[in-house]
Structures are given as structure tokens and as C-alpha cells.
Amino acid sequence: MKSLSKFLSLILRHQSQKVGIELDEHGWADVEELCRRVRGLDRATLEQIVAQDEKQRYSFSADGKLIRANQGHSIPVDVEPAELEPPEILYHGTGEKFAASIRAQGLIRKSRLYVHLSGDTETARKVGQRHGKPLIFLVESGKMFADGFKFYRSVNGVWLTEHVPAKYLKERF
Ligand code: HQG
């Protein structure tokens, strides 16, 4: 199940062509087609993955015919995250190995469509641990918003923005 869920992330966020399906402009894949193309996948399994995912990574369309990832894409799709005023402070968990480059360039989105930010330090730490020894940057999102930067929140609660210049970052010890 875990490996199927990981594979689903790969298909719905990064490489749909790997199983020969196309996502529409909003990132939706056709459930029946997906199940035909991925060995071991059927609707019941998909429903279980969507319901049990600890980060609520996936959503079905209202009619249940389509499925998409809620955030995390590198494929250029518009999953219509809500444009919102952020809290005064957000957090970004990363690996210590990236710190020097981040201090110089700020946070860049690299292969993804957005820089991903967390509302709490616990989540940020988990995100950072994926990249080795974790380091948490504090993001002055309130100031950024006041300065005209746009912020979005995906339906599963991840904050997104296109770039965080270094002057809005502080390291959290
Ligand atoms: C770093 C997971 C050098 C950035 C998570 C990060 C998240 C820089 C890495 C979501 C940099 C990219 C996204 C700069 C940023 N120089 N490195 N200027 N600016 N970086 O995986 O934020 O479990 O693309 O700090 O929970 O780690 O997949 O992004 O370390 O929500 O659902 O470049 O993915 O969600 O790594 O993770 P990633 P991320 P899932």
C-alpha cells in the first residue's frame, strides 16, 4: 500500500507519462484509466489510499471519476490552491547541507511549482528530515504579504509561494 501510494505521487505529481496517462490542466487523472494502467490498482485500493494518507495528499473529484494530488507537483498544472493571507510566520524545513545556498539565494522552488511552507515547526522538522540533518527556517510571511507576495494554501494545509528572498528568512535554533 505504501509503495503504491508513493508510486501514485510519482504519477500524479511528476511523471504521468511513466504509465502513459495525461493529466488535465488542473492535474486530474481519470480513475478508470489510471486503474487500467497501473498493475495492482483498483478503485477500492485507490479509495483506501486517499482516505488513509496521513498528509491527505490526494483528492477525488466530486463525482469520483477523477483523482489528483493536492500539492507537490513538478508538472505544470493548476490545482487551484486558495490564495490567502498567510499567518505572520511560517516555517520551512530543509537539510543543513542546503543552508549556505538558501542564505545566499533565499528559498527557490527547484523542480516543484512552489516553495512549500509549514504552519508549525513539528511539520517543518519532518519535511527537513527528508534531506538529512534538519534545519528550520522561519519565514516572515506577514511581511512578505504586506510587500505584495502571493501565498496559497493547498486543500491539505500546505502553504505555497513562488520564492522567499533571503531577507525574509531567519534561522530557528
Ligand atoms: C531546498 C513533501 C539550495 C529546499 C514535503 C528543499 C513537502 C534550496 C529542497 C513537499 C534552495 C527541495 C516539498 C536554495 C530551497 N538552495 N537548496 N536556494 N531553496 N532549497 O522535496 O520543501 O511527503 O522539492 O529547502 O512534506 O523538501 O512528498 O521540497 O530542501 O510538503 O507529500 O531544496 O514534499 O511532501 O526539496 O518538500 P523538495 P520540500 P510529500
Q: Which residue has the cell 522561519?
A: 138
pLDDT over 90 at 124, yes or no: yes
Q: Tell me, using a 6 A CB cutoff, whether residue 116 lines ligand 1.
A: yes
Ligand 1: distance of its center to the CA of 110 in Å?
8
If one compares 126 and 2, the residue with the highest pLDDT of the two is 126
Q: What is the pLDDT of residue 89?
A: 98
Other residues' Cβ atoms within 10 Å of the Cβ of residue 20: 9
Q: Is 54 left (phi over 0), alpha (psi -120 to 50) or beta?
A: alpha
Q: What percent of the chain has pLDDT over 70?
A: 99
Q: How confident is the model at residue 149 (pLDDT cuts 50, 70, 90)?
A: very high
Rounded to the nearest integer, the mean pLDDT of the chain is 96
Q: Tell me, using a 6 A CB cutoff, whether residue 94 lines ligand 1.
A: yes
pLDDT over 70 at 165, yes or no: yes
If one compares 167 and 171, the residue with the highest pLDDT of the two is 167
Q: Hey, CA dihedral for 13, 17, 18, 19, is it positive or negative?
A: positive
pLDDT over 90 at 40, yes or no: no
pLDDT over 70 at 173, yes or no: no
The residues, any chain, with a CB within 8 Å of residue 45's CB and separated by 6 or more, are 1, 4
Tens of pLDDT along 103-118?
A: 999 999 999 999 999 9
- Pocket test of ligand 1: the residue of 110, 111, 126 to mutate, having most ligand atoms within 8 Å of its CB, is 110
Tens of pLDDT along 62-102?
A: 999 999 999 999 999 999 999 999 999 999 999 999 999 99
pLDDT over 90 at 121, yes or no: yes
Query: How many alpha carbons fall within 13 Å on the CB side of residue 72?
Result: 21
